[in-house]
């Protein structure tokens, strides 16, 4: 910049000096001399500058880096902004460029298609996944429904089973179940003969004799049954053993039906005359008190009003035992002091029964060995006194026999019957013995009706005896 000014100034000065000469010549001398001197000076100065401009550059001191940078910066500041370049003119397209573009376009198109295909495939898979999920959840719901239905059905079955079991328990054991051990005893041995398939001969009868005499049916009954069989064998009625079985069955059915009119119910009935007084007797532990309790429950269930007389003042806690039963069936009990006269307790009970107009009076009594005379005398007295309390009472004398005593029960039955005039027998604990055949002996030897059989400890286990059921249960 300085140099440019200097150069321009040098040229201008030189021109000024040249044009000033005529001027100086035209003026006065002094002024002219000054002007000329000034012009000369100007002239020299201009010459010098022109000389320096042409070739004296090397003598010029170098510009410092700082100056350069400053200058550049100034120039850049002063330099006009370069106008924006016009867009480049489109190049002339070459054929290979076109091909590449087409390829790229095709590739882009293919990519787009592929992307589209992938998107559609993903959508399809998603749809499929949702469908499977829906199906799975529907299946799960169906499974759950089926599980609930199955559980409900199982619960129903369990409930029904429980009801059946309860009904069974309430209904008590069947006679057949109660006679299971008896069936497995002498009856199983008899079935061995019947099923033998061989001709009935003396050896068959010998076998039959051995079985009958060890079957707790009593000697008298066993002898009678054997004699009948021998007679029929002689008449050649037994061409095969099944005929022998049928004959025995028929005879036993006849025997156990003794003592009652055919078809008559064996259960005690409450007639027009009230109260019905039932005196229960038997040896110790045969099941008297239990039978009194079970009968009280049965009468109560049938809608009768029952009163209990605790005639066992002999055994400690006998009264309490009866009271437990009385509570269960909600029946009043007449008790005396321990050791007091059983006859007077029974008298009081019957009197109260009459006064209170109950339907049934059940008298429990003491049980000592039947061989002990005082027991029989005591019971006879009870019976006499009861009759005083109510003429005609007791209406029933029920002898409770323990089936497990076997033939001994037959002996007991005879003695009790002789002393008291037994009107019926309850044969207990059949469920615990193989000696059920004792019923046949009792019925045969005494002609006494078996009224009840006990096949367990529950109320329902005291069952009215049914001769046909008994024979079926034994033989079938």
Ligand X SMILES: Nc1nc2c(ncn2[C@@H]2O[C@H](COP(=O)(O)OP(=O)(O)OP(=O)(O)O)[C@@H](O)[C@H]2O)c(=O)[nH]1
Q: Is 294 in the site for Mg ion (CB under 5 A)?
A: no
What DSSP string describes 362-374?
Answer: EEEE----TTSHH
Q: Which stretch binds ligand X (CB under 6 A): 45-53, 99-107, 209-217, 277-285?
A: 277-285
Q: Is 288 in the site for Mg ion (CB under 5 A)?
A: yes
Q: Residue from 204, 313, 412, 428 that binds ligand X (CB under 6 A)?
A: 428
Q: Residue from 217, 248, 275, 312 that binds ligand X (CB under 6 A)?
A: 312
Q: Is 342 in the site for ligand X (CB under 6 A)?
A: no
> Measuring CA to CA, which residue among 403, 407, 434 is closest to residue 185?
434
CA distance 311 to 293: 13
User: 288 vs 298, which CB is nearer to Mg ion?
Assistant: 288
Could you tell me the smallest distance in angstroms from the CB atom of residue 473 to ligand X? 16
User: What residue is closest to ligand X based on CB?
Assistant: 454
Q: Is 378 in the site for ligand X (CB under 6 A)?
A: no
Q: Residue from 429, 435, 451, 463 that binds ligand X (CB under 6 A)?
A: 429
> Measuring CA to CA, which residue among 400, 444, 398, 454 is closest to residue 423?
398
Residue 291 makes CB contacts below 8 A (sequence gap 6+) with 280, 398, 400, 426, 428, 452, 454, 462
Q: Residue from 289, 405, 412, 443 that binds Mg ion (CB under 5 A)?
A: 289
- Only one residue has tokens 């036993």, namely 252
Residue 370 β-bridge partners? none
Instruction: Evaluate whether 249 touches 475 at the Cβ level (below 8 Å).
Output: yes
User: Exposed (0-12), middle (13-18) or buried (19+): which is 437, by Cβ within 10 Å?
Assistant: buried
Whether the upstream peptide bond of residue 275 has omega within 30° of 0, thus cis, is yes
What DSSP string describes 77-122?
Answer: HHSPPPPPPPPPPPPPPPHHHHHHHHHHHHHHHHHHHHHHHHHHHH
Q: Is 172 in the site for ligand X (CB under 6 A)?
A: no
Q: Residue from 179, 193, 318, 440 that binds ligand X (CB under 6 A)?
A: 318
User: 284 vs 408, which CB is nearer to Mg ion?
Assistant: 284
Q: Which stretch binds ligand X (CB under 6 A): 197-205, 239-247, 323-331, 455-463?
A: 455-463
> Measuring CA to CA, which residue among 37, 1, 7 is closest to residue 20?
37
Could you tell me the smallest distance in angstroms from the CB atom of residue 287 to Mg ion? 8
User: 49 vs 463, which CB is nearer to ligand X?
Assistant: 463
Q: Number of residues interacting with ligand X: please give it, by CB under 6 A.
A: 21
Q: Residue from 7, 191, 284, 415 that binds ligand X (CB under 6 A)?
A: 284
Could you tell me the smallest distance in angstroms from the CB atom of residue 425 to Mg ion? 17
- Only one residue has tokens 């054997």, namely 226
User: 179 vs 244, which CB is nearer to ligand X?
Assistant: 179
Residue 32 DSSP SS3: helix
- Catalog residues that contact Mg ion under the rule CB under 5 A: 288-289
- Catalog residues that contact ligand X under the rule CB under 6 A: 282, 284-290, 312, 315, 318, 367, 428-429, 431-432, 454-457, 461
């Amino acid at each position: 910049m300085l140099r440019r000014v200097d150069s321009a100034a040098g040229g201008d000065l030189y021109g000024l000096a040249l044009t000033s000469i005529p001027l100086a010549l035209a003026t006065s001398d002094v002024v002219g001399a000054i002007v000329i001197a000034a012009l000369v000076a100007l002239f020299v100065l201009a010459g010098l500058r022109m000389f320096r401009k042409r070739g004296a550059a090397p003598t010029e001191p170098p510009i410092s880096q700082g100056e350069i940078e400053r200058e550049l910066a100034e120039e850049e500041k002063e330099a006009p902004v370069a106008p924006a370049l016009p867009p480049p003119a489109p190049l002339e397209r070459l054929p290979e460029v076109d091909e590449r573009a087409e390829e790229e376009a095709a590739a882009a198109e293919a990519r787009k298609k592929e992307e589209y295909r992938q998107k559609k495939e993903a959508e399809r898979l998603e749809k499929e996944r949702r469908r499977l999920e829906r199906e799975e959840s529907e299946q799960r719901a169906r499974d759950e429904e089926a599980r609930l239905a199955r559980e409900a059905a199982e619960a129903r079955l369990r409930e029904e089973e429980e009801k059946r079991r309860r009904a069974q328990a309430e209904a008590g054991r069947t006679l057949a179940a109660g006679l299971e051990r008896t069936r497995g005893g002498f009856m199983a041995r008899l079935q061995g003969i019947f099923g033998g398939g061989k001709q009935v001969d003396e050896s068959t009868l010998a076998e039959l004799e051995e079985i009958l005499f060890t079957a707790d049916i009593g000697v008298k009954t066993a002898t009678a049954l054997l004699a009948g069989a021998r007679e029929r064998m002689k008449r050649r009625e037994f061409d095969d053993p099944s005929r022998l079985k049928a004959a025995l069955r028929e005879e036993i059915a006849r025997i156990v039906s003794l003592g009652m009119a055919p078809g008559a119910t064996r259960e005690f009935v409450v007639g027009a005359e009230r109260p019905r007084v039932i005196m229960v007797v038997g040896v110790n532990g045969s099941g008297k008190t239990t039978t009194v309790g079970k009968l009280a429950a049965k009468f109560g269930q049938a809608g009768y009003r029952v009163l209990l007389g605790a005639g066992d003042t002999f055994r400690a806690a006998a009264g309490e035992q009866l009271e437990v039963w009385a509570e269960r069936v909600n029946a009043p009990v007449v008790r005396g002091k321990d050791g007091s006269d059983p006859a007077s307790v029974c008298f009081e009970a019957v009197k109260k029964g009459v006064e209170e107009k109950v339907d049934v009076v059940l008298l429990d009594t003491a049980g000592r060995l039947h061989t002990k005379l005082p027991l029989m005398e005591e019971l006879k007295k009870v019976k006499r006194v009861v009759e005083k309390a109510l003429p005609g009472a007791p209406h029933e004398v029920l002898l409770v026999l323990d089936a497990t005593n076997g033939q001994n029960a037959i002996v007991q039955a005879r003695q009790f019957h002789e002393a008291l005039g037994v009107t019926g027998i309850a044969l207990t604990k059949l469920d615990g013995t193989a000696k059920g055949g004792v019923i046949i002996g009792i019925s045969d030897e005494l002609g006494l009706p078996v009224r009840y059989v006990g096949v367990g400890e529950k109320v329902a286990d005291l069952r009215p005896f049914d001769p046909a059921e008994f024979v079926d249960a034994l033989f079938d």
